[in-house]
Chain A
């Protein structure tokens, strides 16, 4: 019989997420990361305990029965006692109602270990995407290219700031980085040599809109094993509305064949972005709340690695999500989950990034508490050589960490470093109580700051979407495991 006294202290809302998805009742144990499928009776019992806690009532068998009856359920004593026995078993083995993880804060050395940089090699773009946070490439400054000296200094910076880490990451970003392809070539060559001299390997990635992805560039990316993130929003009309050229023409017709061609070169690309990968990413907005159709459109093009993300916009933008959109977005995720399962069963598999979840091989708790590492493990570098916590903060003076051209370029501004380091899950009031905390890591700092002007208050619409994606991801995982068991 479940030890009900335990629930005097133990909060279910925060530590066990039980919900219904498709034809399943699911319980996710937040602290252990375990997953269970329940029958309706067991689900009702967990929900009843949660309800009692919410009403600040004592959790006991009478209380549970009362809540169940109030919800119009028939209580069968034998069944209830079976359920309570099973729940106790799981509690004892710490896979359900497992103890709250001990609060171990990430520990960092005094001097930040920067292991990844984002090089803004071009603050200019050949497209004028409506939702571009970079102000169509220029980041509020003038349109400008990074020069070789700055690029090399950036690479030296990461090699020298990465301490004992033997793998560093360098991402070519923009604007549109391929506008400065000559620099990319030189820096890859330089990086390989300089890396060797430091006993380190640099992993290069490139984020591009695909417009300039000609044969020569594709070949280079293949040869140098550079991972590539390509932007496509989905159906032609959806893509063209948001991703036009400066003269207003859409870019779908240009980029789609190139992206398809490139994706076909990497059939073995990892769904967890390991090794040399590609994936095609898009952004959905208020204009395509049925974005599941955009994902499927891309899958139909033969693209196997797909990520489509919600736009982060100011409420005054026409494409920003509005009151009432959330329900439609949820439905789109539900449909997408079902379709993904269906296609997998038919061997027409594709990966939707947010539904990939490596439950038992996922990262450790420390990583989960701190997330992206912006501002101390990850730094963005503007064409001028200025250092910022991440690509989204570039140009925001208050967050500037320094410059590659300062005497003390390897010393990042202490106050900024500290504020990002301390913006972990436990320092955010909403996250501390949230069941998604170890999968979400407290959201994106840039989105949080944009909406709340604070690193420790979160962008709550983002939370809703994050949680929904997790629910579907767990569901898919369960369905797949069940399938394998048959």
Chain B
């Protein structure tokens, strides 16, 4: 058990540069007047 660091989320985002890009997820507009949705607020639908 690590003493100084606790890992909360293990992710592997950079690998999706090769596997992703299916384009099925919805569009995301981050402006205030609309959905205010940055990609950070989205989920992958695959």
Q: List chain A positions with a Cβ less than 8 A from chain B.
A: 27, 31-39, 41-42, 79, 82-83, 86-87, 89-90, 93-96, 98-102, 104, 106-107, 113, 115-116, 118, 133, 165, 167, 169, 171, 173, 203, 205, 207, 229, 272-274, 281, 283, 307, 309-312, 353-354, 356-368, 371-374, 377-378, 390-392, 438-441, 443-444, 446-447, 466, 470, 473, 477-478, 481-482
Judge whether B25 and A365 touch: CB under 8 Å. Answer: no
Contacts A41-B4, A102-B14, A391-B33 given; indicate if A362 touches B40 (C-beta within 8 A): yes
A-B contact pairs, 22 of them (CB 8 A): A35-B8, A36-B8, A41-B4, A42-B5, A87-B5, A93-B10, A102-B17, A102-B18, A118-B34, A273-B35, A273-B42, A274-B43, A310-B32, A361-B43, A364-B21, A364-B46, A366-B20, A367-B42, A391-B33, A438-B39, A439-B38, A441-B30
Interface SS of chain A: helix, strand, loop or mixed? mixed
Q: Out of A83, A95, A378, A466, which one reaches B10, CB within 8 Å?
A: A95
Judge whether B36 and A353 touch: CB under 8 Å. Answer: yes
One digit per residue, 1 when the CB lies within 8 angstroms of any chain A CB and 0 when it does not, for chain B 1-44 equals: 01111111111111011111111111111111111111111111
Q: Please list the 7 inter-chain residue pairs (A to B) with the smallest Cβ-Cβ separation, ordered nearest first.
A: A364-B20, A309-B32, A101-B14, A439-B40, A366-B21, A33-B11, A33-B13
Q: Out of B5, B10, B23, B43, which one reaches A115, CB within 8 Å?
A: B23
Interface SS of chain B: helix, strand, loop or mixed? loop
B38 to chain A, nearest CB (A): 6
Taken together as a complex, chains A and B put the C-alpha atoms of A35 and B22 apart, in Å, by 26
Q: Out of A93, A99, A312, A362, which one reaches B43, CB within 8 Å?
A: A362
Q: Out of A42, A99, A367, A439, which one reaches B25, CB within 8 Å?
A: A367
Judge whether A207 and B34 touch: CB under 8 Å. Answer: yes
Residues of B within 8 A of A98 (CB): 14
Taken together as a complex, chains A and B put the C-alpha atoms of A344 and B26 apart, in Å, by 28
Judge whether B13 and A31 touch: CB under 8 Å. Answer: yes
Residues of A within 8 A of B30 (CB): 371-372, 441, 443-444
Taken together as a complex, chains A and B put the C-alpha atoms of A358 and B42 apart, in Å, by 7
Taken together as a complex, chains A and B put the C-alpha atoms of A466 and B14 apart, in Å, by 21
In this complex, what residue of B is CB-closest to A480?
B8
Residues of B within 8 A of A439 (CB): 38-40
Taken together as a complex, chains A and B put the C-alpha atoms of A241 and B20 apart, in Å, by 45
B27 to chain A, nearest CB (A): 4
Residues of A within 8 A of B46 (CB): 364
Q: A33-B9, A86-B5 are known; give 15 further A-B pairs, CB within 8 A.
A: A31-B14, A34-B11, A90-B7, A95-B10, A309-B36, A356-B41, A357-B41, A358-B41, A361-B44, A364-B19, A365-B20, A367-B42, A368-B39, A372-B30, A444-B30
Judge whether A358 and B13 touch: CB under 8 Å. Answer: no
Judge whether A37 and B5 touch: CB under 8 Å. Answer: yes
Judge whether B24 and A39 touch: CB under 8 Å. Answer: no
Residues of A within 8 A of B37 (CB): 273, 353
Taken together as a complex, chains A and B put the C-alpha atoms of A243 and B34 apart, in Å, by 16
Taken together as a complex, chains A and B put the C-alpha atoms of A313 and B40 apart, in Å, by 24
Residues of B within 8 A of A115 (CB): 23, 27
In this complex, what residue of B is CB-closest to A27?
B5
Q: Out of A39, A441, A466, which one reaches B4, CB within 8 Å?
A: A39
Q: Out of A90, A99, A378, which one reaches B27, CB within 8 Å?
A: A378
Judge whether A441 and B38 touch: CB under 8 Å. Answer: yes
Which residue of A87, A93, A116, A363 has the most chain B CB atoms within 10 A of its CB atom?
A363
